Amino acid sequence: MASPQSFSLTNTASVSSSDRQAVGVQPDNTPATGGQTTGAGGGGSLPLTTFGDTLYENATPAPARLPGTTGTLRKYLAQVGNGTVSGAPAWVAGNFVSVLDTGATGNGTTDDTAAIQLAVTKAIAIGGGVVFFPGGKYKITSPISITTGSANVHIVGAGPGASIIQPVGNIDCFDLDETSLNFGFAFAHFSINRASAPTSGYDFNITSAFQTIITDVISYNGFNFCYVGNNTTIRDCVLWNPTGTAFTFGTTGVGNVNIDNVLGTASTHTGTQIVKITGTPTIGELYLRNLDFEGYGSGMLFDFSGGGGLSESFFENIIIDGGGGAIGNSAAVSFKGSGVARIKLRDLWLTTSSNQTALNLDSSANDFEVMGGNFSGGDGIRVGSASEVSVHGAKIYGCAGSGYAGLHLTSSVGKVVAVGNRIGNVYSGAGNNVGVLIDSGASSWFITGNDLSGNTTNLTNNGGANSAGTRYVGANMGVDL
């Protein structure tokens, strides 16, 4: 086998800091460990202080030139970006535009809006690509717009602690108005930091974009985080000290939305909300997983009383802690309206104040399945007009307020099955005012095999005696043998 080729540099001409940054060399010429970097093929070494323009212009022997240019790697990428070079190799086939190359400063004081918008426009013009934010602070004074006709535009930073976008005032940070339903938008590895709390505006306003991914983004002092569009994935994000709504749904026909591994911490209850429905959207296949929201004033309120609906959706491993604040007018998680059906709720941990409800099922539609989880508040689980509801393996406790219960079946309830739950003194001193409360007028229930001990009153049944095929309460600890 031939020995690895080695090469050396014969010219140490000066290299600009931006060139060094583009090829990964520290701007201050500080060498990496040992002050050397291995050359191509593993042989020889190159002093990092000369690893800039000289690499392609003065290497001996000269390495193969990139197609269509005799300049440096940075110059080549720029030529690819402006369309003057064709035949790009596979590793740059997606195209790459740095906001520094379109005039952004990243110094935190200069308005970089126009330069960033130019970089996005260039990426759109060449059919999509990566718009890269090197480490820095980028001040913007109007939204960055991704408009109709664009596709495959990826906004990428060097990490949330390095690449920081700083919107000024009550503005959106990114607007996606993609009415032609092109696809392939992504936002990753940066933070959005507002110096003062706004009173309006979204970090991501996805009006009608298709297939959008938001990942590894930290939002500081924001108002609304995302107006959710069709086929949206949001994961691995942190919402710190917001004053508005985390996720807003208002677009007609939203489907395949996946929100996973998001932490939200609000320092004020007033005005903050986790999920808000505006208008009458129809939402299908919504997946909410691994979420932790603390201190919000209102929870996940899926209110379709005016129309629209939610179906075939899955909620799993979600923590909502009201932190002593009032969770909306209803619940930490609430479903209302006739268009809600086929909802799976697994391992939710919902805590509200003593006059609110942890989980409210008040939809006249059907098929709710609650599996496991912890519920504490006014009512732990309140079943309103919903039917075909099953509750299995839940822990419901601390619902001590007058008139409230761990499991509350109201007068308009349909069919409810509750089996194998602990509804009472799950933790020391944390029993409910009433374990199970059945209001007069409730039509159908099957409640058995539960532990109802440790409540002030374990069972209050105002709905009537057991009746074959429609009503049964029996074999529950704390009530029956």
286-325 per-position pLDDT tens digit? 999 999 999 888 889 898 888 899 999 999 999 998 744 4
Q: What is the pLDDT of residue 38?
A: 36
- The answer as to whether 6 is a domain residue is no
Note whether 190 and 336 are same-domain residues: yes
The pLDDT mean for the chain works out to 80
CATH code, domain carrying 203: 2.160.20.10
Whole-angstrom distance, CA of residue 455 vs CA of residue 479: 11
Where do the H-state alpha helices sit in 279-375? none
List, for residues 420-454, the tens digit of each pLDDT value.
999 998 876 689 999 999 999 888 999 999 999 99
Q: pLDDT band at 149, cuts 50/70/90?
A: low
- The answer as to whether 329 is a domain residue is yes
Q: Which pair of tokens denotes residue 385?
A: 């007009």
**Residue 164 contacts residue 112 (beta carbons within 8 Å):** no
AA letter at 448: T
The residue ranking higher by pLDDT, 469 or 466, is 466
Note whether 397 and 456 are same-domain residues: yes
- The answer as to whether 402 is a domain residue is yes
- The answer as to whether 5 is a domain residue is no
List, for residues 344-398, the tens digit of each pLDDT value.
999 999 998 777 899 999 887 778 999 999 999 889 999 988 888 999 999 999 9
Examine the fold and report which residue of 370, 392, 417 is the final residue of a domain before the chain moves on.
370
Q: What is the pLDDT of residue 73?
A: 46
Note whether 200 and 332 are same-domain residues: yes
How many Cα atoms occupy the beta-carbon half-sphere of 323 within 13 Å?
Answer: 16
The gap from C-alpha 371 to its chain's centroid, in whole angstroms, comes to 23
Whole-angstrom distance, CA of residue 195 vs CA of residue 324: 27
CA angle 14, 20, 23 (to 5 degrees): 135
Note whether 69 and 162 are same-domain residues: no
Q: pLDDT band at 1, cuts 50/70/90?
A: very low
Highest mean pLDDT: which of 38-42, 148-152, 251-255, 414-418? 414-418
Note whether 380 and 265 are same-domain residues: no
Q: What is the pLDDT of residue 17?
A: 45
Whole-angstrom distance, CA of residue 249 vs CA of residue 81: 35
Note whether 344 and 420 are same-domain residues: no
Note whether 265 and 377 are same-domain residues: no
Distances (CA, A) of 433 to 107, 291, 350, 457, 459: 58, 29, 18, 6, 10
In 273-308, beta strands by DSSP E: 273-277, 282-294, 298-303
Averaged pLDDT for residues 164-174: 97
> Is pLDDT of 243 > 70?
yes
Averaged pLDDT for residues 94-107: 90
Whole-angstrom distance, CA of residue 133 vs CA of residue 146: 16
Averaged pLDDT for residues 242-255: 87
Note whether 475 and 354 are same-domain residues: no
% of the chain residues with pLDDT over 70: 75
The residue assigned the tokens 């930490």 is: 332
Q: What is the pLDDT of residue 330?
A: 62
- The answer as to whether 328 is a domain residue is yes
Whole-angstrom distance, CA of residue 218 vs CA of residue 257: 20
Q: What is the pLDDT of residue 178?
A: 60
The residue ranking higher by pLDDT, 365 or 259, is 259
Note whether 59 and 119 are same-domain residues: no
- The answer as to whether 14 is a domain residue is no
Examine the fold and report which residue of 319, 337, 370 is the final residue of a domain before the chain moves on.
370
The residue ranking higher by pLDDT, 88 or 254, is 254
Q: What is the pLDDT of residue 31?
A: 37
Whole-angstrom distance, CA of residue 226 vs CA of residue 217: 12
- Please compute Rg for the chain using Cα positions: 29
Q: What is the pLDDT of residue 426?
A: 84
Note whether 123 and 99 are same-domain residues: yes
Note whether 366 and 378 are same-domain residues: no
Q: pLDDT band at 401, cuts 50/70/90?
A: confident
Q: What is the pLDDT of residue 366?
A: 77
Q: Which pair of tokens denotes residue 416?
A: 């409810």
Q: What is the pLDDT of residue 266?
A: 87
- The answer as to whether 2 is a domain residue is no
Note whether 384 and 359 are same-domain residues: no
Query: Domain range holding 126?
Result: 74-81+88-370
Number of domains within the chain: 3
Examine the fold and report which residue of 20, 55, 87 is the final residue of a domain before the chain moves on.
87
- The answer as to whether 17 is a domain residue is no
> Is pLDDT of 327 > 50?
no
- % helix, strand, coil for the chain, step of 5: 10, 45, 45
